Every structure is written in structure tokens, then in C-alpha cells.
Amino acid sequence: MLVEDGEYVTAASALVHDDARAIIGVTINAASSRDEEVEVMYLGEIEDMSFNFIPLRTVFVDSNGGLTQTFNPSWRFIKVIGVAATNTKLMVGLRPPIFLAAA
């Protein structure tokens, strides 16, 4: 997730260069409108039965605002969000972005 207008958050994309430094964490609940509050975690543990991670592998931001463990060469940056502790548990620990050369 990233900050927008200093008040709202929106999904980040690994395809948008400027999103790399604006990512502040992972939302742990969904909002159906811009006026609903969301909780953002920047350090800690998230367990979600819909996750299907490979344990002990790095988790990145993907190009659609989601989480993935698979690198895509079309990305403009790599942003590590954390490491999968189990297939349903993410240990969130943001790392600085790594910028990639433009294709």
C-alpha cells in the first residue's frame, strides 16, 4: 500500500516507479469505499487462510497491488514486503526498494 494525499491509501504497483518509495505497509482489512478505514501493518505477522505462500521465501509487491513470490521482469522495482513463515502466514518487514533498469 502507499500513501495518497497524506490521508488515503491505494494499491501500489511494481510497474510504477514512483510507488517504490511510497509503500508504507500491507492492509490487513479491505475497504469498499474511499471513506472506510483500513489497518496497515508495516511490521509484524499477518495470517490469512487465502494466502498460498511457499514457506521461507521472500514476498514482493506485484504489479496489481497484491503480494507474490514470483519475480516479473517487467517490474520497475522490487520491494520486499516480508517472508512467508508458513503457507498462510506472512512476517511483514519492509525493505528498501531495488530499482531495475528500464526495459
Other beta carbons within 10 angstroms of residue 15's beta carbon come to 14
User: In this structure, what C-alpha cell is assigned to residue 63?
Assistant: 504489479
What is the domain partition of the chain in residue ranges?
2-99
Q: Which residues of 16-47 are buried (b: 16+ CB within 10 A; e: fewer)?
A: eeebbeebebbbeeeeeeeeeeeebbeeeebe
9 has a pLDDT exceeding 90: no
State the pTM of this model. 0.88
pLDDT digits (tens, 9 = 90+) for 53-78: 999 999 999 999 899 999 999 999 99
Strand bridging mode 77-78 / 98-99: antiparallel
52 versus 9: the higher-pLDDT residue is 52
Question: How much is the pLDDT for 1?
Answer: 58
**Continuous segment of H or E residues that includes residue 40:** strand 40-41
CA angle 43, 25, 72 (to 5 degrees): 115
- Euclidean distance between CA atoms 24 and 7, whole angstroms: 12
**Mean pLDDT, residues 24-34:** 84
Beta partners for residue 23, in sequence order: 2
Question: How much is the pLDDT for 75?
Answer: 95
